[in-house]
Amino acid sequence: MRAKVGVYICECGPNIAEKVDIDGIIAGLSEFDGFGETELVVKKYGFLCSKSGREFLEEEIRNLGLTHLVIGACSPRDHDSTFKGVCGRTDLNPYLYRIINIREHCSWVIDDVEKATEKAESYLRGGIARVLRQSELFENPIDVNPDVLVIGGGVAGMQAALSLAAEDRRVSIVERSDRLGGRALELSGLSSGTFRGSDIAAGQVESVMGNPYIDVFLNTGVSSVIGFLGNFVIELLSDEDGATTEISSGAIIAATGCAVYDPSLSGSYNYSDRDDVYNPLEISRMLSSEGGVALRSGGRPENIALVHCAGRDELNYCSGICCGVMMKTALLLKESIPGVDITEFYRDICVPPHEGRQLYESVLEAGVDLVRVESAGLSGTTVSFREKSGVEDQRSFDMVVTAPALIPSPDTADIALLLGIPLDDTGFFQEAHRMTDPSGTTTDGVFIAGTSQGPRGILDSMRFARASAGLILTRLIIGEKLVPEVAVSEILEAYCTGCGNCLEVCVYGAIYSDGSKGVSVVNEAICRGCGNCFGSCPSGALRTKHFTNTQLYREVDEALR
Amino acid sequence: MISGEEERMDAAGIPYMIRPGKGPEGSVLDLLGQLIGSGGADALLLPFRVPSGDSFAWIMFSDVSLLKDAVPFPATMPVQGGRALRSLTRKEKGKLRIIALMRPCEIRAGMELSKLGQVNTENLILASYDCPGAVKLEDYVADPVSCDSAHSEMRSRGEPSGNARSACSTCVDFSMVDADIHFGYFGIKDGGMLVLPGSPAGRALLEGLNLEEGRGLLPQWEAEISRLAERRAATREETFRETAERISGFDGMLATFSNCIGCHNCQSACPICYCRLCYFDSEVSRTDPEALITAAEKRGGISIPPDRIMFHTGRLAHMSLSCVSCGQCSDACPVSIPVADVFSFVAERTQRAFDYKSGRSDGEALPLRRFLKNELDGVHEMVKDAESEASPNE
Amino acid sequence: MSQNGSVLIIGAGIAGMKAALMLAGASRKVHLVERLPIIGGKVIKNEESFPNMECSTCMVAPVQQAVLQNPDIETYTYSTVDRIDGGPGCFSAVIRKKARYISLVDCIGCGMCFDPCPVSLANEWEEGLMPRKAVYVPCSGSLPNVPVIDASSCLHLSGKQECSLCAESCAFEAVNLDDSDQVIEIEVGSVIIATGADTFDLSALPNLGYGILPSVYSPFEFERLFASNGPTQGEITLRGSGTVPRRIAIVHCIGRTEAGYCSSVCCMYSFKFVRFLRHKLPEAEVFNIHLDVCTPGKSYQSFFTSLDDRDTTMLFTPSIDDVRVTENGPSLTLSYPAPDGNTREIEVDMVILAAAMVPDRGLGEIAQMAGIQLDRHGFVMTVDRESGSLQTSRDGIFVAGTAEGPKDIQNTVIQAESAAGQALEAMSAAAAVNKERASGS
C-alpha cells in the first residue's frame, strides 16, 4: 500500500506561527520529492491540542485514510499523550505517529524567522523519514493473579499481609524460622510506655493466624522464583522435610528483616563471652526473665555503662534507632535495679523527631550520667574513651551494654539473587529509586519493606510495609488486566554470539542466556525498553522496538539533508 | 610479572627446571608428551607446518607419536590461538581436557574471549612461552627458510628483529601471563629452561612429573626478562609517539586509513572480533543509497563506498578495551596499513581510562559491564594529554 | 448509602503527588488541592537532593507532568479546602478555587504578560531574593506553567488604578480580570492531608542576626541562591554587596531547643550545602558549627564521612544556643562556645542557619477545618500508631509526609504510598461494611 503521511503543523497561536513560516514549510514539503512514492498531506491548525484540533485530526485520519501521522507542535512532554490518544480513537496505530517539537526547539529559541523555519522544516522532514520506518506495535493485555507472596514474617511482612489479605486476594507468608514475629518479639523486655514492639508483634501474629485469607509457611525458604508482575511462580522449600510447594502470586514483598552487628568484630571492642558485655536484645531477654538483670557471676551489677555506636564507623552508617533504644534501656535498667549507676557514652544523639527531647530529658532526670565522647572502646567491661575536648580516660564497670548497628539479615543476598534485585553498597536491598520509588525494585512486581531496605524502627517498618502493600493494591487490581510495555528489546538470533554484555547491563533481569544455542534472549514481559542492552551489543543483534537504528539514522540523515 | 613473582609462587607453587640438552623446543615437546602420557590431559593443541611449507596450522591431536612433527615455537602467527580456542570451546567446555601451547598474546586473547562467553577455559590447560615476536606473514611466505633462521636468531636473543611485526617490537607482555604453565628460556644459558606453574591446575599437573626444582635459574631469567621488557617499552613509547602524531585529528585518520580497500581482513583476523556478523558488514550499518545521494548533493561529493574511517573507529570503539595488541590486523592488511599500531595505541589509553588491562584471567569484569560510582574521573585530563602528545609544538 | 471511592488530597508536594498518582493508577478519582499556584512542593526549591546530589527538578518534573496529564486527577491549584463534612466513604468537601485571573485552559505559558505589568514586588517563592510582577509564575519551570494575578498587588484588582496591560498583551485572551473565586463541592471516600512543613522562624533568634545582617541566610534562601533557575542563576553572591563569599559558616541545630526535637534532615542538607559550595566556590573556606551529627539511615553517614578537611572544618560546640553572629565591618564575627569551655570566634562573610523543620504555619487552620488533632509539636497526630497507621484522629482522614513530622524525601514518599494504600484499604473495608448494612436492612 502506498504510504500517505499526514503532517499537521500547530500554530500554537502566535507561539509557533510568529517565528516559523508555516506556509513556507507547507509549500516546501509539498514540493519535496525525497520520499518517493509516499503521498504527503501537509496542513496547519491553530491549536491542535484543543478539543476542536483533536477532532479535526481524527476526521482527517479517517477521511483521508492516512497511514502515518506527524505532528509539528510542542514538546512531547506536553502533548505526546494527547496525540497518541487521537490515534487511539481512530484505526491508526499510535506507533505510526510522531510528534516533532518545533516550539521549544525552534520558535522559542531562534529569533531569526528564516533560521527557525529552516530548522523546523528539517526536523519535520526527519520526522517523516522516521515515521515511515516505524512499525505497528500492539498492546497485549495479560491476566493477573491478585495474590501476594510475602517473604519474611516479621512486623513488616505481617503488616503487609494484613493490609492485603481479603476475600478475593490471598496472601502467603513464608518465614525461615519456626515462628512469626521477627526481631520485634525479642524486645519484650524493653516494652514499656510508648515502646511496645513485642506487644505489637504479638497482636499481629494473632491477627495473621486468625485471618482466613493468609497462609503461613514456617521453617520454609524460597528456592526458586520465575515470572513477572502479575504472574510469578514460586517454589517454597521446607527446611524440616525438604518438601517443595509451588505457589503462584502476582506480586512479591521481600521483608526479610535485619540482623545486629557483632561489636567484637570492631577492632576497638575487645571482650569475650566471659565478660558481662551485652546488647539491648540480651538485656531485653534478661529483663523479661524471672531472674532479671544479673551478672554472669550471679550478682547484681552496681554500675553499668551503655556505649553507643557499635559498628557505626566500620559500616559507615548510623542506624538511627539505637540512641532511642539505649535511652529506653537505661531507663528500664534504672527501674529494674534499684540504686544502679548508669553512664551512657554517646557520640551524637540521633533520635527520631517523634521522640523529641522528652526521652533525653527523662534520662537526665532519672540520673543517668550522659558523657559525650569522640570515640569509645572496650577492653572487657572497661570503657576507654576520648572526650570532645580531647581528654582521654578509662573507667571500669560491672556490666556494659553496647548498641550494635542493624545490618542486613544473612538471607538478604540469597533472596536478592532469587528475585533478581540488586543490593546496595551497604548490603541492604536497593530501591528502584532512592527517593521517588523507595518501595519498588528493579524487578517489576517485587517490592521491599521494613528493615530489609535499611535500618529503621518498628513503626516505620510497618508504614513501609503498608506502602508496599498500597503499591500492590494499585498495581494488581482485581478484575483488571495489565498492559506490558510494547516498545521492548529483541535479539536477532542470527547475529547474536551470546557474549552476555546485554545480560550484564540489564538492570531488570529481562535477558537470559540460552546455552544450547549460545545466544541471549529477551523476556519481553519483563523488559521495559530502556535500551541499555542496545548500547552494549557490538554486533547489532539487539534492537529496541520503536527505537531501531534504521528509524534513528533515517531521521537524522533526513534532518541533516 | 616480576613484582608479582612471590604472589605467583604462593598461588601456583615452585618453579621447575629442565637441564640443557634438547634445547627449549625439544624440552617443551618432551614435557607435553609426558603430560599426555601421565593422563594429565587428553589432547594437545599445537602448531604444525602446513604441507606447502610456508605456514603453520593449529592441530588438535591425542596421538603422541605426532608430537615430533609439531613446531612449538612457530616463526609466524597465521591464525591467532585465541580463535582456535574459541572454535573448540565456544558452546561448552568440551569433553576433552586439552593442553594448548601458545604465545602470550594468544593466551591473553583467550582470556578476553572467555570473559565474553566465547571461550570456556574449564577443560583447557593453557601453556605459554617466552616469545621473541613473530615474523611478518608476508615475509615468511616469500622466503620461509631464511625467515625460520631469522626467527631462531630472534629466540636466542629474545628480541624481535627486522622482519618481525611492529606489534611484537612494542610488546611488553611477551613472557609469563595468566597461563597455567609457562616455559621460560630467555637468558638461561646453554638451552636450559624453566617450567613455571601459573595456576593450581598447572601446579597439580607438573607435580606429577618428577621435575627438578628450578629456583636457581629464576634470577638470570628474571633479569633477562626485565632487561628485554625495558627495551621493548622504549620502542613502544617511540612507536606510540609516532602513531599519536600520525593519527592526530580527522585528517590524520584519513591519511592513515586512506588506502584501506575495505576488505575487513583486519576484523576477520582479529581474535577479539567475536561477532557472528560484524555490525559493519550488516545491513543496518549500510547507508541508504538515497542518503548517499543527498549527502553528495550537500557536500559536493563523497567517497563511495562510504564509512571507511567509520569502520575502523567503530571497531576501535567496540573492541579496543579487549585488544591484546597481538598484531594480527596489521599482518592481515593487504595494503600495509599499520592497523595494529593504531589499535595498540588507542587500546592502551581506553584500558587505562577504565583502569583495566586486557588479557588477565577471567576474574576481572569487562569495563562495559560494570558500573562504578566514580568512573572516568581523569578522562578529560587524558584527552588533553593525548591532544598535547599529538601536537607537541603547541 | 452510596459509596464514594474518590479521594481528596490536600497539598501537591511530593507526598500529595505520589499519593495522587498511585490512587489514580488504581482507577480512583483524585481531587488534588494545592494552595500555591503551582504544584511540586518544597522539593523543587532544591537544585539537588541529598544523598545522590540528584537534580531535584529532573526527579520531580516527570511526577508533576504525570499528575497534570492524568485524566483521573483533578488538580486545583491556588485553592484551599473550606469544609469537610461526613465520614469515611461519604465525605463531602468544599473546595475554594481562588480567582487566578488567567485561564488554565487558554494560557500557554509564553510569559508575554509579565513585562507590561507595572507592579514589582518581592517574589516570596524565591525567598524574596528577586522581584516579581503582580502577574507572575513563582519560578521558571513552574508547573502548571500558567501565571496568576496577585489580586492584592495588582493595580486593577486592588482598585488603585485602571490597568489592563496584561490582558492587552495576551494573544490568547487568557486573562480575565473579572474572574472570581469558585466554590466547588465534591464527594469523596477518603481524605489525605499532605500539606508539608515549614522551616523554623529564624527571626525568633536575634542573636544570630537573621533579618538584620544581610549575609545571614536561611536554608531555603541558600537553596535558591544555588539554584540555576533561581534569582542569581546559581551564582553564589552575597545579598546587598553582590560579592562572592570566601569564608562561610553553616550553623547546625537552629531551633532544635525551641522545637523540642531533632529534625533529622538538617545535618544532611548542611553537608549538601558544603558540596554546593565546594562545587561552585572551590576556594572558599567552609565551617560547620555543630552539635550532634545526626545522619540516620543506610546511606547518609557516608555522605558526611566522604567530606574531608579541604571541604569543611567541623567545629563542635556544646551549646548552639550560645552562638552569636555580629557585624564586623564588611564581614561577620561568629562566636561559639568551644568544648574546652572557652568562647571562640571566627570571621566569616556568610552564615547559613540550618533551621529545624516545623509544622506548616497554616496547619493549625487546616486541622481545625478538617477536625483533626495535632500532636504536642504541632504536627498532625496519628491514632493507632502501633499498627503503623497514618489515620488521623478523624476516621477516613489520613496524613502523609512532613505534615506528620520532619522527614526526608524517601520517608515522605514511603508515607505517601502508605497513606494511599491505607485509604484504598479503608475504602474497601467501608464498602464492605456498608454493603453488609444494606443487605441486612
> Chains meeting B at 3+ CB pairs closer than 8 A?
A
Q: Which residue in chain A is spatially nearest to C413 when comparing CA positions?
A: A436
* Residue B362 pLDDT: 65
Owning domain of residue C230: 200-356
Tens-place pLDDT, residues A331-368: 999 999 999 999 999 999 998 887 778 888 999 999 99
> How many Å is the maximal CA-CA distance in chain C?
82
Query: Which of A212-216, B271-275, B386-390, C188-192 is least confident?
Result: B386-390
B275, B284, B369 ranked by CB distance to A538: nearest: B275
pLDDT of residue B394: 38
Give me the numbers of helices (H) and strands (E) for chain C, helices first please: 9, 24
Rounded to whole angstroms, how far apart are CA atoms A120 and A21? 9
Closest approach of A70 to chain B, Cα-based (Å):
21
Strand partners of residue A410: none
**Which residues in chain A touch residue C294, judged by CB atoms under 8 angstroms apart?**
318, 348-350
Q: Which of C321, C336, C356 is the last residue of a domain?
A: C356
DSSP conformation class of B218 = H
Q: Could you tell me the pLDDT band of residue C1, with boundaries at 50, 70 and 90?
A: very low
Residues 6+ apart with CB under 8 A from A68: A3, A4, A5, A6, A92, A96, A97, A128, A131, A132, A134
C-alpha cell recorded at residue C156: 486593577
Confidence (pLDDT) at C222: 97
Q: Are residues C343 and C382 in the same domain?
A: no
C340/A contact by beta carbon, under 8 A: yes
**C-alpha cell, A61:** 485520519
Cβ burial C117-145 (10 Å sphere, 16+ → b, else e): bebeeebebbbebeebbbbbbbbebbbbb
Distance CA A548, CA A533 (A): 13
Q: Return the half-sphere exposure (C-beta side, CA atoms, 13 A cut-off) of residue C305.
A: 13
8 Å CB contact of C413 and A455:
no
Q: Which residue of C has its CA nearest to A194?
A: C386
**C295 plus C319 within the same structural domain:** yes
Q: Residue B3's pLDDT is what?
A: 43
Above 80 in pLDDT, residue B42? yes
- Chain A residue numbers with beta carbons less than 8 Å from the beta carbon of C385 are 459
Distance from CA of A462 to the nearest CA of C (A): 5
Last residue within a domain, chosen from C337, C356, C375: C356
Give which of C418, C425, C427, C435 to mutate to test A binding, by max A Cβ within 10 Å.
C418
Cβ neighbours of A554 in B, within 8 Å: 288, 291
Residue in C closest to A391 by C-alpha: C340
Percent of chain A predicted with pLDDT > 90? 75
pLDDT of A28-51, one tens digit each?
A: 999 888 888 899 999 999 889 888
Chain A and chain C share a number of CB contacts under 8 A equal to 186
Q: Buried b vs exposed e over C51-83: b needs ≥16 C-beta within 10 Å?
A: beebebbebbbebbbbbbebeebbbbbbbbbee
Residues 6+ apart with CB under 8 A from B327: B77, B105, B134, B165, B166, B167, B168, B340
Final residue of a structural domain among C330, C356, C382: C356
C223 three-class SS: helix
Considering the domain architecture, whether residues C239 and C188 belong to the same structural domain is answered as: no
- Which residue on chain C is closest to A464 by alpha carbon? C414
Q: Are residues C239 and C322 in the same domain?
A: yes
Which residues on chain A are in Cβ contact (under 8 Å) with C264?
320, 350, 352-353
Judged by CB atoms closer than 8 Å, whether chains meet at B298 and A538 is answered as no
- Same-domain pairing of C266 and C404: no
Q: With 60 as the cut, is the pLDDT of residue A508 above it? A: yes
CB contacts < 8 A, A to B, total 71
The distance of Cα A312 from the centroid of its chain, to the nearest Å, equals 25
| pLDDT over 80 (residue C438) | no
Sign (positive/negative) of CA torsion B151, B153, B155, B161?
Answer: negative
Q: What is the pLDDT of residues A272-313, one digit of tens each?
A: 999 999 999 999 999 888 889 999 999 999 999 999 999 999
Average pLDDT over all residues of chain A:
92
Q: Which chains touch A (3 or more CB pairs under 8 A)?
A: B, C
Q: Please, where are the H alpha helices in chain B?
A: 5-12, 23-37, 81-89, 104-115, 137-142, 144-157, 166-169, 200-207, 218-247, 249-257, 265-269, 289-299, 308-319, 328-332, 339-353, 379-390
With contacts defined as CB-CB under 8 Å, which chain A residues touch B368? 501, 505, 536
- C338 and C255 in one domain? yes
* Residue C425 contacts A, CB cutoff 8 Å: yes
8-state DSSP, A109: T
Q: How near does any CA of chain A get to the CA of C101, in Å?
A: 20
Taking alpha carbons only, the member of B164, B118, B176 closest to residue B138 is B164
Give the pLDDT confidence score for residue B376 in this predicted structure: 73
pLDDT, greater one: C304 or B288: C304
For B284, the closest of A34, A505, A550 (CB atoms) is A550
Considering only CB atoms, C26 lies closest to which of A351, A431, A473, namely A473
Within-domain flag for C348 = yes
Cβ separation of C59 and A436 shorter than 8 Å?
yes
Angle at A365 between CA A362 and CA A368, to 5 degrees: 90
What is the pLDDT averaged over residues C118-124?
96
Q: Which chain A residues contact residue C357 at CB under 8 A?
A: 353
Q: Which amino acid is at C4?
A: N
Search chain A and give the residue with CA nearest B365: A504
Q: Does B277 touch chain A (CB under 8 A)?
A: yes
Statement to judge: residues C41 and C189 lie in one domain: yes
**What percent of chain B clears pLDDT 70, i.e. is strictly above it?**
94
- Nearest CB to C410: which of A350, A351, A438? A438
B366–A contact, CB cutoff 8 A: yes
Q: Which of B87, B273, B274, B277 to mutate to test the interface with A (most CBs of A within 10 A)?
A: B277
**Which of B 286-345 lie inside 8 A of A, CB atoms?**
287-288, 290-291, 294-295, 298, 318-319
Which residues in chain A have their CB less than 8 angstroms from residue B296's CB?
none
CA distance to partner chain A, nearest, from residue C61 (Å)? 10
Task: Report d(CA C373, CA A440) in Å as an integer.
Answer: 32
Residue B282 at interface with chain A, using a CB cutoff of 8 Å: yes
Among all chains, which residue has been given the C-alpha cell 481531587? C31
Query: Do residue A475 and residue C25 have CB atoms under 8 angstroms apart?
Result: yes
Best of A354, A439, A441 to mutate (most C CBs within 10 Å, chain C) = A354
Indicate whether C240 and C338 sit together in one domain: yes
Element (DSSP H or E) covering residue C259: helix C256-259
Note the pLDDT tens digit of each residue in B1-37: 344 455 555 555 789 998 888 888 999 999 999 998 8
- Under a CB-based contact definition with an 8 Å cutoff, are residues B195 and B31 in contact? yes
Coarse DSSP helix, strand, coil percentages of chain B, rounded to the nearest 5 percent: 50, 10, 40
pLDDT tens readout for residues B267-305:
999 999 999 888 888 877 787 787 788 788 888 888 888
Q: Say whether B290 and A499 touch across the interface (CB within 8 A).
A: no
Interface test with B, best of A130, A557, A558, A560 (most B CBs within 10 A): A557
Chain C nearest-CA distance from A301, in A, is: 30
Neighbours of B368 (CB within 10 A): 17
Report if residue C121 sits inside a domain.
no
In a domain, C104, yes or no: no
Hey, are the CB atoms on C260 and A356 less than 8 Å from each other?
yes
Q: Is residue C318 part of a domain?
A: yes
Q: Which residue has the cell 615455537?
A: B73
Q: Which letter does DSSP use for residue A400 in this model?
A: E
Check residue A47 and give its pLDDT.
87
Contacts of the segment A87-92: beta carbons below 8 A, 24+ positions apart: A87/A61, A89/A58, A90/A58, A90/A61, A90/A62, A91/A61, A91/A62, A92/A61, A92/A66, A92/A67, A92/A68
A chain contacts of residue B87, beta-carbon cutoff 8 Å: none
Between CA B250 and CA C211 the distance in angstroms is: 59
pLDDT (0 to 100) of residue B390: 60
From the list C125, C23, C5, C11, the residue with the least C-alpha distance to C66 is C23
Q: Which residues from B are below 8 Å from A497, CB to CB?
A: 117-118, 274-276
User: What was the pLDDT predicted at B296?
Assistant: 86
Q: Express each pLDDT in A390-432 by its tens digit.
A: 899 999 999 999 999 999 999 999 999 999 899 999 999 999 9
CB B384 within 8 A of CB B242: no
Closest CA to B329 of B340, B318, B341: B340
Residues C206 and C92 in one domain: no
SS3 A103: helix
Answer yes or no: do C315 and C407 share one domain.
no
Q: Is the Cβ–Cβ distance between A422 and A412 less than 8 Å?
A: no
Give the pLDDT confidence of B243-252 residue by residue, as tens digits.
999 998 888 9
C-chain residues near A109 (CB < 8 A): none
C-alpha cell at B206: 607438573
Q: Does the residue C398 lie in any domain?
A: yes
- The chains found to touch C (3+ Cβ pairs under 8 angstroms) are A
Please check the confidence at residue A450 and state whether its pLDDT lies above 80: yes
* pLDDT tens figures, B111-132: 999 999 899 999 999 999 999 9
Q: Given an 8 Å threshold on Cβ–Cβ distance, is C294 in contact with A350?
A: yes
Q: What is the pLDDT of residues C53-97, one digit of tens each?
A: 988 988 898 899 999 989 999 999 999 999 999 999 999 999 999
DSSP state of B69: G
Provide the shortest C-alpha distance from residue A255 to chain C (in Å). Answer: 15
Residue C441 pLDDT exceeds 50: no
pLDDT at residue number B2:
41
C146 occurs within a structural domain: no
Which of A252-256, B189-193, C1-5 bottoms out in mean pLDDT, i.e. has the lowest?
C1-5
Tell me the shortest Cα–Cα distance from B317 to chain A, in angstroms.
Answer: 9
| Domain architecture of chain A: domains with CATH | 4-137 (3.40.50), 148-259+408-475 (3.50.50.60), 262-404 (3.50.50.60), 489-545 (3.30.70.20)
The shortest CB-CB distance from C424 to any of A461, A465, A473 is to A473
Q: Is A112 exposed, middle or buried (0-12, 13-18, 19+ CB in 10 A)?
A: exposed
Which residues in chain A are contacts of B318 at CB distance < 8 A?
A: 538
Domain presence at residue C127 = no
CB contacts of A428 in chain C (<8 Å) are: 298
d(CA C68, CA A79): 11
Q: How far is C264 from C407, CA to CA, in rounded Å?
A: 7
Has residue B387 got a pLDDT over 80?
no
- E strand map for A301-364: 303-310, 341-346
- Give the H/E segment covering residue A557: helix A549-559
* C133 within a domain of the structure (yes/no): no
CATH number at residue C244: 3.50.50.60
Tens digits of residue pLDDT in B327-352: 999 999 999 999 999 999 999 999 99
> Residue written as cell 506561527?
A17
Q: Which residues in chain A touch residue B319, judged by CB atoms under 8 angstroms apart? A: 538
Give B-chain residues touching A496 at CB under 8 angstroms: 276
For residues C370 and C238, state if they share a domain. Answer: no
The verdict on C243 and C370 lying in the same domain is no
- Res. A192 pLDDT band, cuts 50 70 90: low
Tell me how many domains chain C contains: 2
